Amino acid sequence: MSKITIRSYMNSRGRKHIQKVLDKNPPCYVLITCEEPSEDGQMQVEMTYEGDAVLASYLLQGAQNVIDQEEEQQFDLAPVKRSGLVK
């Protein structure tokens, strides 16, 4: 899998990066966006993809794996799993 960049916020630099990538006309992309949560905690989430559905699914799975690994490193879950405390 190619390089994955994870940003926790969107600024004009991030928008320019997305536009630059899309200008290259990739064979497939997935874009997931959300609105700020409402007062009752509801959040509008939208997903758009272009290209082959199987490839889009592969991109999503790969991205999920990267996020899971980053969370594991961030919260240092690996030692807990090795100790047998988490099954």
Sorted by where each begins, the domain ranges of the chain are 12-82
DSSP string spanning the chain? -------SS--HHHHHHHHHHHHT--S-EEEEEEPPP-TTS---EEEEEES-HHHHHHHHHHHHHHHHHHHHHHHT-HHHHHTTS--
What is the arithmetic mean of pLDDT over 4-25? 79
How sure is the predictor about 73, in pLDDT bands with cuts at 50, 70 and 90? confident
Please state the rounded mean pLDDT for residues 19-34: 92
Instruction: Give me the pLDDT at residue 59, please.
Output: 95
Mean pLDDT (whole number) for 37-45: 93
**What is the torsion angle, in degrees rounded to the nearest 10, for the CA atoms of residue 58, residue 49, residue 21 and residue 13?**
-110
| DSSP class per residue in 26-40 | -S-EEEEEEPPP-TT
86, pLDDT greater than 60:
no
Average pLDDT in the 31-58 region? Answer: 94
Mean per-residue pLDDT over the chain, rounded = 82
